[in-house]
Structure 1
Amino acid sequence: MKVKVAIVDAFVDGDKGGNPAGVVLDADQLSGKQKLEIASKVGLSETAFVSKSDSADFKLDFYTPQKQIAHCGHATIATFSLLSQQGLVPNKNTSKETIDGNRDIEVMGDFAYMGQTAPEYNAPVLDHSEVYAAAGVSDSRVLCAPAIVNTGNSFLIIGVKTLSDLASLTPDYQKIEAISEEYDLIGFYVFTPETNKSGRDASTRMFAPRYGIQEESATGMAAGPLACYLYQFMGMHQQIFLIEQGYSMQPPSPSCIEVVLEREGEKITGLKAGGTGKPSRYEEIEI
């Protein structure tokens, strides 16, 4: 059987870059084993499979080449941008069902927002120096204490001082994977307040070897936790954050993620992360 897979670049910064995701429409008849096989053959960090839902407008299942995960920001943006471009999203406000519950989606042409939950904050119990060694940064170049933030998935957030510090990270993937297993993390999200383009709030890198991803060029489910971290711990009491990612990769794949916080007084009650998706090509996978 041949399965058609759209490759869609999500969170593109302008008209280039972004993070490619596989998208399979009409996936109702595919088993979990087949979805994993397809994701493995596509070889991207995540592939989304779209099927009918009884509780939302669409059901999305997300697979890395190694396993199924609950949510994926860039694959969600890729999927709803593609659905919108094909005229399959009749209303601006829509929704997705996942294995971890439903999420609201907002679509405006090629641009899509994905809802995330109110943040939960935790400090890692292990010595901070172990975290810094795993990320490959010296203690002297760390900007602020690490924290685990969850807005649907857990990421360990670490701040470094400069773009040079960010670019020169030497991650120890084995240590990151071990820490990620211990704390049930997707991975490490390292940021600096220095940015490549003016008007941005942070530049970032994301490492998720636990899921077979050494580095990813755009991570919507990590940008949400970072925006909450910046709000909660860095005194950046604003509603909208622009997070850039992918600039430090080789080759660079620039991305930009917009995060909008929902607040009651000073408390964050929810958020949405969004960006633009652009199809780049189609593949046929034999299973």
Structure 2
Amino acid sequence: MTELKKVTVQILNAFTENDKGGNPAGVVLDADALSHNDKLHVAKKVGLSETAFISRSNTADFKLDFYTPTKQIAHCGHATIAAFSYLKQLGKLKGNTSSKETIDGNRKIEIQGALAFMEQLAPTYVDPVERENDILNSLGLTKADLLPNAPIKVVNTGNSFLLIPVKDVKTLQDITPHFDAIENISEAYDLIGYYVFTTDALAHEIDATTRMFAPRYGILEEAGTGMAAGPLASYLYDVLQIKKTTFQIQQGKYMLPPSSSAIEVQLQLENEKITGLMAGGKGVVTRKLEVNV
């Protein structure tokens, strides 16, 4: 009879806003002995949108593997912030800079006070104009609900997200997502999911408030998505021509139940062109789970 291994999973809320809300992620230390199937089993048992598994790396300070309850993904913003916030709290980071190895290459990590930041790449843009009506229908929206002169775009800074600018907070709040349709369009464009946002009626310290739908990855709605906030900040700078280097993104305020998250994105520029970015926030430990594999 095979002996079961007990895996300890720390649950941290990442991108907390004033230490409240945020997006929960699982974090597993010393995951070197776990197989792909083990990790998938643990992520499914944990049941959160993503769990990060930390193991030794020959090319970076740590190797991170990210799993949803249904599959492995290349990057995950809030699980990265959760993992490095936890490593910092345990005293396992030597300084304020670190790095992660992923299945899609290595990325830099920075610690700024209580916040952890992760590197993302320069943005690329795709215009899905031929599917605009399908996209709107999948959210119960019409063209009149969109922010004027702000095209729907697929934006990638490491993962692809569909950015959909709506005209006001009420429109964002009243979205009716049709998850089968969202999943089909996500499959067609190889998306993690939809990132719907508005710049309307916000406190002066917030640049946009958002909702994120990713049924293709088993996530109906997510409270904080660092890998989507990077594309959004890039869109605000490049498409909406908001020429600043630091953006404050809010997410999750209008999901049910609400879980408001705060994500800061710092753009890296050369000759006013984005060459990369750092997206970050705070991770707070909330509880611990034990999973047998």
TM-score normalised by the shorter chain: which range applies?
over 0.9
Q: Which residue type is aligned with residue 7 of structure 1? A: I
Query: Helix, strand or coil: the match of 1:145?
Result: coil
Instruction: Return 5+ residue gaps in structure 1 as ranges.
Output: none
Q: 2 CA distance for matches of 1:227 and 1:70?
A: 20
Structure 2 residue 132 is the aligned partner of structure 1 residue 134: no
Tell me the TM-score normalised to structure 1 length: 0.98
- Matching of residues 1-287 of structure 1 within 5 Å: 1-143=5-147, 144-194=150-200, 196-287=202-293
How many positions carry a matched residue from both structures?
A: 287
| Contact 1:94-1:106 within 8 A present in 2 as well | yes
| Contact 1:84-1:109 within 8 A present in 2 as well | no
Cα 1:145–1:86 change in 2 (3 A) is same
List 4+ stretches of structure 1 deviating above 2 A.
194-198
Instruction: Spell out, residue by residue over 1:162-219, the C-alpha distance to the aligned partner (whole angstroms, 9 max, x if none).
Output: 1100000001111110011111000000000025543100000000000000000000
Query: Helix, strand or coil: the match of 2:130?
Result: coil
Please report how far the alpha carbon of residue 125 of structure 1 lies from its aligned counterpart in structure 2 after TM superposition.
Answer: 4.9
Query: Helix, strand or coil: the match of 2:284?
Result: strand
Q: Which moved more, 1:3-12 or 1:124-133?
A: 124-133
Query: Helix, strand or coil: the match of 1:253?
Result: coil
Tell me the TM-score normalised to structure 2 length: 0.96
| Contact 1:195-1:203 within 8 A present in 2 as well | no
Q: Which residue type is aligned with residue 155 of structure 1? A: F
| Contact 2:129-2:152 within 8 A present in 1 as well | no
Please report how far the alpha carbon of residue 141 of structure 1 lies from its aligned counterpart in structure 2 after TM superposition.
Answer: 0.8
| Contact 1:160-1:192 within 8 A present in 2 as well | yes
Query: Helix, strand or coil: the match of 1:126?
Result: helix
Instruction: Spell out, residue by residue over 1:244-278, the C-alpha distance to the aligned partner (whole angstroms, 9 max, x if none).
Output: 00100111101010000000011100000010000
